[in-house]
Amino acid sequence: MNNEYLMKNLRSIEDFPVQGVNFRDVTTLFKNAKCIEIMDDELYELYKDKGITKVVGIESRGFIMGAILARRLGAGLVMCRKPGKLPAETVRQDFMKEYGPDTIEIHKDAIDENDVVLIHDDLLATGGTIKAAWELVKKFNPKKCYMNFIIEIRDEGLFGRENIGDGIEVTSLITV
């Protein structure tokens, strides 16, 4: 998709958080009302006819557009969070990130087999977190599942899409 206006407003920060990383800063898109409107419209057009009943937002930047899109689609928002952040009983998924082990959780009653789920996060790089989210959502056995990102990084030898695996349609608004 690579909307020109979004591309112009996406900030890159060299050597953050560590030397050699070119960090794509999605906050510059969130602080601009027109960027939010464009992302909202593009996401809605992608998913308006898919029957989405739940949007799973990945902590924490995935909550922003996830909530906006859930409202527009008439769907619920499910928060996928780090351990200890959700108050009720959870289902969890352990996984390895580039810096070591991690875990994510979703409330045990958040999704059921009648749901059509969209998993949303701000960024796809290595794919570790989103693959874990996909494995977690599959435990609920939803009717169908989709996956979306605002930004997908492919220009630095990062092929997160390939790490996700098969069985899910993946879209990104911006690919760099």
CB 131 within 8 A of CB 164: yes
Alpha helices (runs of H) in the chain, residue ranges in sequence order: 4-9, 27-30, 33-47, 62-73, 128-138, 160-164
Query: Active-site residue among 14, 89, 98, 113?
Result: 98
CA of residue 168 relative to chain centroid, distance: 13
- The Cα–Cα gap between 109 and 112 comes to 7
Query: Active-site residue among 59, 61, 92, 154?
Result: 61
Q: Which residue has the tokens 């602080």?
A: 31
71 has catalytic annotation = no
- The Cα–Cα gap between 152 and 154 comes to 6
135 has catalytic annotation = no
Catalytic residues: 61, 98
